[in-house]
Amino acid sequence: MTGVPGLSWIDSANQPTSDFPLANLPYGVFSRAGEPARCGVAIGDMIVDLAALGAAGVLALSAPSIFDQPALNAFMALGRENWDEVRARLTSLLSADGDPSLRDNALLRARVLHPAGTARMHLPFRVAGYTDFYSGRHHAENVGTMFRGSDNALPPNWLSLPIGYNGRASTVVVSGTGIRRPWGQVKPSGVDLPTFMPSRRLDIELELGAVVGTPSEMGVPVSVSEAAEMIFGYVLLNDWSARDIQAWEYQPLGPFQAKAFATSISPWVVTTAALAPFRVSTPPRERALLPYLQEPGPMLYDISLEILMRPAGSARSTVISRTNYREMYYSAPQQLAHHASGGCRMDTGDLLGSGTISGPTKDSRGSLLELSWGGAEPLLLETGESRSFIEDGDTLTLTGWAQGDGFRIGFGACTGTIFPALDR
């Protein structure tokens, strides 16, 4: 893997365990008390105010005011040439041996640099549409084995295309947003008809979300290579799932209310440029893919991922799963190319969920459904509690990073706490 990147004059960015070194520079949207939300970049334990930097005239961008708004969409729509230009300029301004225009100007630093701890993070982009895929083979085989048996674990089409469904963009929320336990139709085993009740088998799905930057045209497919150029970056994604609601409703069209109530994403979008040194190939194909889905080169990333659970009233979290994004069978560019293959227009701000990222071992499974094997094998937390599914007050956190030699490209955290269902 790549060696240590250049150092920043912001010392906290040079720590080996920092999620946000000079080589990362992820984008987000933040605000401070009494101030409007605007775009920023994370470096170390600081946030660079891109709106203030643009107003000062030190960004190499024809429309610097593009960052003076509460979403990244306008910047993402400019395309890769502009993304690369701004990234190069920020790298120079924040490098220890780069352009001193910011480093040596105390007044500008005071306007542009803010401690991350003083900021509130917002949803980083307006979510135009949300599509969730089912592209992790270990996850698909685990779930299929539970419900259909090991001989019929994968659907017949699974090895030929990335299966997906259209989810709800309206309930995609930023990390830290409380999640209300959903109501829905549940049909317990042994009864003939369903009951309307709060979900009792509430779960998470550990995913990575790909964020579409540049749009495509309706009626015009895109290749896998073109799809890769359209993707601005990636976020951690928790696709909260009500398994008991899903079990009753999903035939024949798939998930609906069981997943529509909430999807959480991390506040920082890690760019494809930052992740480029960590590219890895998808696994060997058991069945040859059709030409439109074949990759021209490595399309996945070596990204370590963890799930942490903290019970209500406890200050201590337990790591309940460790896995890696490289376990996916289909990459985000393949998913995007397949999405557009029939002529579907892809928009700036579209969000593509990878599907649950599970590894080959029990401790690398990406959902509680798998970790507890449908509730038959409850997890024992380090705090002494056991869990099969999520209880009210539990906090779930996803973390992820690509590990370099002496540095890491991190995503921060994607966190959510479950609130009790509303009385009805």
User: Using CA atoms, how far apart are residues 78 and 271, in angstroms rounded to an integer?
Assistant: 14
Predicted confidence band of residue 4 (pLDDT cuts 50, 70, 90): low
User: Using CA atoms, how far apart are residues 241 and 133, in angstroms rounded to an integer?
Assistant: 14
Q: Which two tokens stand for residue 163?
A: 């299966």
Average pLDDT in the 371-376 region? 97
Average pLDDT in the 107-114 region? 97
Instruction: Calculate the average pLDDT of the chain.
Output: 96
> Are 11-122 and 130-419 equal in CATH topology?
no
Determine the pLDDT at residue 94. 98
Average pLDDT in the 267-276 region? 98
Determine the pLDDT at residue 8. 98
Determine the pLDDT at residue 1. 45
Contact present, 30 and 122 (Cβ < 8 Å)? yes
Model confidence at 3: pLDDT above 60: no
Model confidence at 217: pLDDT above 60: yes
Predicted confidence band of residue 2 (pLDDT cuts 50, 70, 90): low
Determine the pLDDT at residue 424. 79
Query: For domain 11-122, which CATH number applies: 2.40.50.1020, 1.20.1440.120, 2.30.40.10, 2.30.30.230?
Result: 2.30.30.230
Amino acid at residue number 405 = D
Model confidence at 261: pLDDT above 60: yes
Average pLDDT in the 401-408 region? 96
Determine the pLDDT at residue 61. 74
Least Cα distance to 411 among 25, 131, 13, 4 occurs for 25
Most distant pair of Cα atoms in the chain: their distance? 73
Residue range 352-361, pLDDT digits in tens:
999 999 999 9
Catalytic site positions = 139
Category of 72 on φ-ψ map: left (φ > 0), alpha (ψ -120 to 50) or beta: alpha
Average pLDDT in the 221-235 region? 98
Average pLDDT in the 202-207 region? 98
Model confidence at 80: pLDDT above 60: yes
Residue range 157-182, pLDDT digits in tens:
999 999 999 999 999 999 999 999 99
Determine the pLDDT at residue 151. 87
Instruction: Provide the residue ranges of all domains of the chain, joining segments of one domain with +.
Output: 11-122, 130-419
Average pLDDT in the 126-145 region? 96
The third-level CATH classification (topology) of the domain covering 130-419 is: Fumarylacetoacetate hydrolase; domain 2 (3.90.850)
Least Cα distance to 379 among 253, 204, 170, 232 occurs for 204
Beta bridge partners of 397: 308, 415
Residue range 313-341, pLDDT digits in tens:
999 999 999 999 999 999 999 999 999 99
Model confidence at 281: pLDDT above 70: yes
**Which range, of 63-67, 220-224, 420-424, averages the lowest pLDDT?**
63-67
Long-range CB contacts (within 8 A, 24+) of 419-422: 419/178, 419/179, 419/180, 419/181, 419/392, 420/180, 420/181, 420/198, 420/392, 421/180, 421/181, 421/182, 421/183, 421/198, 421/199, 422/180, 422/183
Determine the pLDDT at residue 59. 87
